[in-house]
């Protein structure tokens, strides 16, 4: 296996573990995963999977990060209003 494939496999495993931990800890967390955050997570995963083509992979990861920042901003704005 190439070194690049090993890094991709490790990244996917780490992201799956994070998703599983979030799913298991959902009972203790007040805030659940929003649909926009789930979409951002899926774009990052797709960017890792399609990492062979740099432009496509980096574009998908960048778009996923942009969506997550938008989600953070929207949630922070909503939490300020409700306080």
pLDDT the model gives residue 70 = 93
DSSP state of 29: -
Cβ count within 10 A of residue 56: 14
d(CA 41, CA 59): 14
Q: Phi/psi at 42 (nearest 5 deg)? A: -70, -35
What pLDDT, on a 0 to 100 scale, did the predictor assign at position 30? 62
For 9-61, what is each residue's pLDDT tens digit? Answer: 888 889 888 888 877 776 665 667 889 999 999 999 999 898 888 899 999 99
Residue 51 Cα distances to 4, 17, 19, 81, angstroms: 9, 20, 20, 40
- The pTM (predicted TM-score) of the whole model is 0.60
């Amino acid at each position: 296996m190439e070194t690049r494939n090993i890094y991709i496999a490790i990244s996917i495993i780490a992201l799956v573990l994070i998703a599983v931990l979030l799913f298991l800890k959902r009972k203790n967390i007040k805030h659940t995963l929003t649909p926009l955050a789930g979409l951002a997570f899926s774009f990052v995963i797709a960017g890792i999977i399609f990492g062979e083509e740099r432009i496509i992979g980096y574009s998908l990861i960048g778009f996923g990060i942009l969506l997550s920042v938008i989600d953070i901003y929207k949630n922070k704005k909503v939490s300020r209003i409700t306080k």
